[in-house]
A and B are shown apart, each in its own frame.
Chain A
Amino acid sequence: DQQVKQNSPSLSVQEGRISILNCDYTNSMFDYFLWYKKYPAEGPTFLISISSIKDKNEDGRFTVFLNKSAKHLSLHIVPSQPGDSAVYFCAASGAQGAQKLVFGQGTRLTINP
């Protein structure tokens, strides 16, 4: 039962262009969504989050969009930089506990110079 899905296992983007990572969820009880970034041999690090009462949250080069009716969120990175190359995980939480996160499978982003 995959409640959070990232359907693109990998994404390759030219440096300087926009990277768009997508995430879909099925559980309508989720009310908080997060993106984590993970480098090899390291733990995930928090990137950006959004509450279900918003449809957009921006932090520097990173913007997360939430479409509740479609149960879809996306992460936009612009401009993309080589250091952004990593695996990105979408995660969601809800009534079951704010820290009991449900993660997607991850998308490996590669930024090409």
Chain B
Amino acid sequence: NAGVMQNPRHLVRRRGQEARLRCSPMKGHSHVYWYRQLPEEGLKFMVYLQKENIIDESGMPKERFSAEFPKEGPSILRIQQVVRGDSAAYFCASSLSTGSNEKLFFGSGTQLSVL
């Protein structure tokens, strides 16, 4: 499967626990983006990463959220001390480059539920 792979598909956490969401971009893609979709809303940009670098994290909440894209392995979105308001679908996307007409390819998402 050459698509964007996200896991887990569903993640249940209790308030105060940590959530780790993983994303493997499409083969050959070195640009990764995380988006969040709250219920009944559109997707909202969170962060843009390249290998070992955070390029734009202007959409990330200031606390508890972090992201990385190491030299080896998948990109990780980490949410510490989760709260009920973190319940959402988290989508990862990747692109080959950042040209103006470059398309994003999205994964199937991770549905995070905080009890």
Identify the A interface with B (CB < 8 A): 4, 6, 31-32, 34, 36, 41-46, 49, 51, 89, 91, 97-106
Q: Which residues of B9-68 have CB atoms within 8 Å of chain A's CB atoms?
A: 9, 31, 33, 35, 40-45, 48, 56
Q: Contact size class for B?
A: 20 to 34
Bound CA span A49–B93, Å: 17
CB-based nearest B residue for A87: B42
Looking at the complex, which one of B33, B40, B109 makes contact with A99 (CB distance below 8 Å)? B33
Q: How many A-B pairs with Cβ below 8 Å?
A: 69
CB-based nearest A residue for B100: A98
Q: Is the CB of B103 within 8 A of A46?
A: yes
Q: Which of B6, B9, B56 has the most CB of A within 10 A?
A: B56
What are 21 residue pairs bridging A and B, where the CB atoms are less than 8 Å apart in the complex? Answer: A6-B42, A32-B100, A43-B91, A49-B101, A51-B101, A89-B42, A97-B48, A97-B56, A97-B98, A98-B98, A98-B99, A98-B101, A99-B48, A99-B93, A99-B95, A99-B102, A101-B43, A101-B45, A103-B44, A104-B42, A106-B42
CB-based nearest A residue for B109: A43
| Additional A-B contacts beyond A42-B109, A43-B109 (12; CB < 8 A) | A4-B42, A43-B6, A43-B91, A43-B106, A45-B106, A46-B104, A49-B101, A98-B101, A100-B48, A103-B44, A104-B42, A105-B40
